[in-house]
């Protein structure tokens, strides 16, 4: 009986070891949950298939529930690659020395946020943020979002000389850009900050009712999304693997796949490109 138990234990240990070995051979990536999960699964499921073909290794996309969870998964080596926003990318790279921003959308060096308003407010598009917005209700996206929180808050503070909760009667965090649009469209909040790409895609496909919500202000340009990879991937997947991943991302040119991001293509990125984001986050105390 004892011999049988030892045999089963040895078999179980061997199977666990095999499972861990198999997992070690899988290149895993994630992405910040900046839109509804269905949209993300469609987008990154296609990226998973593309990368698997290009890299000749098993590739798996793992969805996460929050921006913080994406950063934690990267820090803990549960994923080796991530599609981050500007702020989450800075946070992740600070936690994992040697990690690098390797590719960004062609539009990402000149990204923008829009301040949107329910049309019942009577607000019209403006060149500068005015006191007409004071005492209204306002929602950001995720607390860790560059385009849904960091940069809009920076420019709001710059315009009003006060924190958002001192300017508006109520401030919320929707969790993602899609929800921000829905909440402002429904009048749950009068104002909101949204990623310009999500807005433009929604207007184009008709999912945003512009009779109920409109853009009233646009931020200046800033750098945002990027692919960030851990610095130890060559040790795990072989010499030259990081460059192979980089080239696969830069060569991604399938129109349907690009439309899902949406981006016109991908271009090289570096950690230094996101210095303005890091400095802004530090000034707002978001990197402490």
Mean pLDDT in order along the chain per 10 residues (288 residues):
44 39 76 87 95 96 94 97 96 96 96 97 97 98 92 96 96 95 98 95 94 97 96 95 98 93 95 95 85
Phi, psi of 67 (to 5 degrees): -60, -45
Alpha-helical runs (H) found in the chain: 2-24, 37-55, 67-75, 86-95, 151-160, 164-167, 177-186, 196-205, 233-237, 241-250, 255-260, 275-283
Which of 192, 218, 244 lies at the terminal end of a domain, its last residue?
218
Residue 61's SS3 state is strand
pLDDT given at position 75: 97
In a domain, 174, yes or no: yes
pLDDT given at position 39: 85
pLDDT given at position 4: 43
Q: Do 147 and 197 belong together in one domain?
A: yes
Kindly report the pTM of this predicted structure.
0.81
In a domain, 263, yes or no: yes
In a domain, 288, yes or no: no
Specify the CATH number for the domain of residue 242: 3.40.190.10
pLDDT given at position 209: 97
Q: Do 193 and 230 belong together in one domain?
A: no
Cis peptide leading into residue 16 (ω within 30°):
no
Find, among 65, 62, 73, the residue nearest to 28 by Cα.
Answer: 62
pLDDT given at position 36: 80
> Could you give the number of structural domains in the chain?
2
Find, among 173, 192, 178, 170, the residue nearest to 118 by Cα.
Answer: 192
- Residue-number span of the structural domain to which 30 is assigned: 2-108+223-283
Q: Which helix (H) or strand (E) holds 58?
A: strand 58-61
CB-based burial label for 226 (10 Å; 0-12, 13-18, 19+): buried
Q: Do 28 and 94 belong together in one domain?
A: yes
For the CA atoms of 224, 225, 229, 230, the dihedral, rounded to the nearest 10 degrees, stands at 50
Distance CA 35, CA 18 (A): 36
Q: What is residue 119's DSSP assignment?
A: G
Burial 179-196 (b: 16+ CB within 10 A, else e): bbbbbbbeeebbbbbbbb
């Amino acid at each position: 009986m004892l011999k049988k138990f030892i045999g089963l234990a040895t078999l179980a240990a061997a199977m666990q070891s095999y499972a861990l070995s198999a997992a070690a051979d899988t290149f895993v990536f994630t992405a910040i949950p900046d839109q509804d999960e269905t949209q993300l699964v469609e987008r990154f499921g296609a990226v998973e298939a593309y990368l698997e073909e290009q890299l000749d290794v098993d590739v798996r996309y793992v969805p996460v529930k929050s921006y913080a969870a994406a950063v934690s998964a990267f820090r803990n080596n549960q994923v080796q690659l991530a599609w981050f926003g500007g702020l989450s990318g800075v946070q992740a790279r600070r936690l994992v020395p040697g990690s690098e921003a390797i590719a960004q959308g062609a539009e990402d060096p000149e990204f923008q946020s829009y301040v949107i308003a329910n049309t019942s407010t009577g607000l019209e598009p403006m060149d500068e943020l005015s006191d007409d917005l004071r005492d209204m209700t306002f929602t950001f996206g995720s607390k860790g979002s560059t385009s849904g929180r960091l940069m809009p808050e920076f420019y709001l503070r710059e315009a009003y000389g006060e924190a958002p909760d001192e300017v508006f009667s109520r401030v919320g965090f929707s969790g993602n850009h899609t929800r921000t649009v829905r909440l402002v469209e429904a009048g749950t909040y009068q104002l909101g900050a949204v990623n310009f790409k999500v807005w433009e895609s929604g207007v184009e496909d008709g999912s945003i009712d512009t009779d109920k919500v409109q853009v009233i202000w646009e931020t200046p340009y800033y750098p945002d999304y990027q692919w960030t990879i851990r610095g130890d991937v060559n040790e795990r997947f072989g010499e030259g693997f990081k460059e192979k991943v980089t080239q696969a991302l830069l060569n991604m040119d399938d129109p349907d796949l690009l439309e899902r991001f949406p981006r016109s293509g991908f271009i090289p990125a570096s950690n230094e490109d996101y210095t303005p984001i890091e400095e802004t986050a530090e000034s707002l105390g978001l990197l402490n």
